[in-house]
Amino acid sequence: MNAGMYKKDLSPLGLFIENGKEKNSLNRKKDAYGNFYMQPNGVFVITNDQKGIVCKTEDFQNQNVKYATQSGPMLLIEGGINSKFRKPSENINIRNGVGILPNGNVLFAMSKEKINLYNFADFFKSRGCKNALYLDGFVSKTYLPKKDYGQLGGNFGVIIGEIK
């Protein structure tokens, strides 16, 4: 699935670390337009010991990081839905995101239908996530044939894939 927002040249809009190497630096800009800049935004990390972490950008520490992508906004912060979201919002779109389950497993989700940010955040909360991060919107696609997701095509700057 796509895993964060990117610029027109398909480079990451924020932090991107691949195999321990920083390819793009942390974006601390707060006064720009778009979901990425809705505060707080955050970072999804896979540590060198395979632990998943979702944290606010301001709490990110580049230690023991194997992979990381920055995006925004945070959906859940310490178990609470981002205060910028409104339940009756009509700002609906296809959305994808990532959260950390109570057992430490990583939960990736993509809506099958258009949804607002509040309800998308509530999905992660209902699964027991304490922190969750919005990854992207209308261009979101997932390729997961075993779950009948075979979405192909499009240009993406950052993707997440599972390999075995």
In a domain, 105, yes or no: yes
Query: Residue 102 burial (CB < 10 Å; 0-12/13-18/19+)?
Result: exposed
Confidence grade of residue 164 (pLDDT, cut at 50, 70, 90): low
In a domain, 6, yes or no: no
pTM above 0.95, yes or no: no
**Structural domain for 133, as ranges:** 16-150
pLDDT digits (tens, 9 = 90+) for 48-77: 999 999 999 999 999 999 999 999 999 999
In a domain, 86, yes or no: yes
